[in-house]
Every structure is written in C-alpha cells, then in structure tokens.
Amino acid sequence: MTDMIALWIAIVAFFLFGLNHFFSSRNAGFGLRFPFAFHTLKGWKQSQSRFYRLVMLLNILIFLYSLYIDLNEIRVMALSIISIVFSGILIFLISFKE
C-alpha cells in the first residue's frame, strides 16, 4: 500500500497535463519571462506537456517496479522525487537545444 505514492504523483501529473492542455495561458507568464528558452506560448505549452508526460511515465514505471519488487515507502518516495527532478532537468536542457 505504501507504493501508491508514485501512482498518486502520476495521477496529479495527469490532472496538471489536462489543465495545461485546456488552460495553458493561465500559467504561461512564468515561461514567457525566459525569452531565450520560450519564444511563444506554444513552446511553453509543449515543454510543460513533455514534462508532465515524462513524470507520468516514470512514476507509473516506479509504481509497477515497486509492485514487482517489494520496496519500502522511503525508497519509492525517493525514486519519485528523483524522477520529478530528472524530468525537469531533462526538459529544461531539451528546451535549449531547440
């Protein structure tokens, strides 16, 4: 039951992904303040969508892995936090490449 943390993070990321899809202009102010990385609202929306999809995928994999191998709650939480940080760094670096 303690491995549900990763599943909850994936569910929240799915909810935020939906909000980003339908109401992307609400949170665009932060991304558009970095003109060297995001020139348009579309670029910011794409970067956020990639981030949420990657967080969902990694946390679902962590959830399935924790079902297969009995992990304690601290390790699942640490892997989930690492997946969020890794996703953010990876998407940030990809935005400079484009």
Domain ranges of the chain: 4-97
Question: In which residue ranges of the chain is pLDDT below 50?
Answer: 31-33
Q: At CB < 8 A and 24+ separation, what contacts does 8-14 make?
A: 9/55, 9/59, 9/80, 9/84, 10/55, 10/56, 10/59, 10/60, 10/63, 13/52, 13/55, 13/56, 13/59, 14/52, 14/56
Tell me the torsion sign for CA atoms 74, 92, 94, 11: positive
Confidence (pLDDT) at 32? 47
Confidence (pLDDT) at 27? 55
Q: pTM score, two decimals?
A: 0.78
Confidence (pLDDT) at 24? 63
